Amino acid sequence: MQTVTLTIINEEGMHLRPAQALADAASGYDSDIYLQTADGQEANVKSVLNLIALGLEKGAQVTLATEGEDEEQALSELAKLFEQGFGE
């Protein structure tokens, strides 16, 4: 299992557009990919609805976890999306 702590930098937080971009990118990997909040909520990153349900606002700290055969590549690529503000 690989993990990294990231910060939501989008002004609107994790709304539909970044959630869809993250879920789309994650669906290209075979690994299990989860996002966990500081208060222990967890969501499958491949589900847009699960991501939005976390209610993540700008500045929220989250842990991205990947587990599977392509976990390192998945973690690296998905972390880049967070750092780039999901293209917004």
Range of the domain at 69: 2-87
Q: How far is CA 32 from CA 12, 13, 23, 68, 79, in A?
A: 26, 23, 12, 6, 15
Question: Above 90 in pLDDT, residue 87?
Answer: no
Instruction: Supply the residues annotated as catalytic.
Output: 15
* Separation CA 77–CA 85 (nearest Å): 13
Place of tokens 């702590």: 5
2-7 and 42-44 beta bridge pairing: unpaired
Instruction: Please tell me the total count of domains within the chain.
Output: 1
Q: What is the pLDDT of residues 17-65, one digit of tens each?
A: 999 999 999 999 999 999 999 999 999 999 999 999 999 999 999 999 9
Q: What is the CATH number of the domain that holds 33?
A: 3.30.1340.10
